Amino acid sequence: MPFTSGGFVPGSSRRLIVIVLFEGVDLLDVTGPPEVFSLARRETRDAAGYEVVLAAETMEPVTTGAGVRVLPDTTFEQAAAGRIDTLIVPGAVEVDSEHRVHPLVDPALVGRVKTLAGRSHRIASVCVGAHILAAAGLLDGKRATTHWSTARQLAADHPAVEVDADPIFIREGNVWTGAGISACLDLSLALIADDLGEAVALRVARQLVMYLKRPSGQSQFSVPLEQVSTTRRIEDLRHHILRNLGRPLTIADLAAFAHVSDRHLTRLFKTELGTTPYAYIESVRVEKARGELETTDATLERIATNCGFGTTDTLVRAFRRRLNTTPTEYRRRFRTPQAS
């Protein structure tokens, strides 16, 4: 049945969630959030009042990137006639002949999203849906994330956006951006926590058999170890850093290793990896520390030494800065059974 409700009413218990539907959209981006919100309704005995609808250009079936056809509940025009609590914009990609991933950004869809966003209390993108929000100007001046494989393109195409490829989701005011595909579950849980509190979100996480609700700072992927550079010099530097994490690593030392000036080294990192040498080194050290926390019984002092932090205080500060948690809390949440 076509959607005919009057939309979201501020201050009411009813929350209308509109998910944008279009040809080629990633299936999990579309189906994941409704599952999470339906569990919230169950956990609160419908106190959440969530109503999820799929909006498309027409009422015709939409074929997702997985080949599964999905029926819209309403059209963009009908959805824009009322007030929306949360607008969720999923993404779609295409892969070229060289197996490179490119987000699909249709100008007509961007216009529709911009209109719907103007009627929305809260806006969220899933995965490469961030490229659509950016094209609509909704991320200008904001920090945002997306799937790690397209983060560099997002930054290049939209310099007014501060792209951070590491977190699984980022909140900037009323705009939320989520990372790769399955992170739509974490993003939806965060939206529920924002609406109904952490206790409800954790109950939903248990129903989803997710090992507690991941904090927003939790890395979506081993980005520092997987970033692709185009020059041999940077590749050699990255391997040199990995081999020497336990030692002091200064810009002067790295510049001498690469046979360049300090200033040129900083410029190389910014151009190739989109970050500074110090920030990159810290991210790799945090990545290594995460692995040790997950899989070993090593003390924080030992991990701090092994990973080049020097002191536990430095280790803790880096975790708070990059993951918004502490090493102790991280170990409690993500330690593997083998390490117990």
Residue 121, CB half-sphere, CA atoms under 13 Å: how many?
Answer: 19
Is there a contact between 161 and 155 (Cβ–Cβ < 8 Å)? Answer: yes
- Exposure string of 89-112, with b = 16+ CB inside 10 Å and e = fewer, is bbbbbeeeeeeeeebbbbeebbeb
| Residue 184 is a catalytic residue | no
In angstroms, rounded to a whole number, what is the distance separating the alpha carbons of residues 271 and 229?
A: 9
Report residue 314 CA to chain centroid gap.
Answer: 26
Q: Helix axis angle, 198-207 relative to 27-43, nearest 10°?
A: 120
C-alpha to C-alpha distances, 226 to 165, 184, 229, 244, 251, nearest whole angstrom: 11, 22, 9, 18, 22
Instruction: Please pick, among 88, 127, 144, 196, the residue that the annotation labels catalytic.
Output: 127
Quick one: tokens of 235?
Answer: 């590749």
What sign for the dihedral angle of Cα 318, 235, 221, 102? positive
Q: Of 128, 92, 98, whose CA–CA distance to 228 is shortest?
A: 98
| Phi, psi at 187, each rounded to 5° | -60, -45
Run of H or E including 103: strand 101-103
Instruction: Please list the active-site residues.
Output: 127
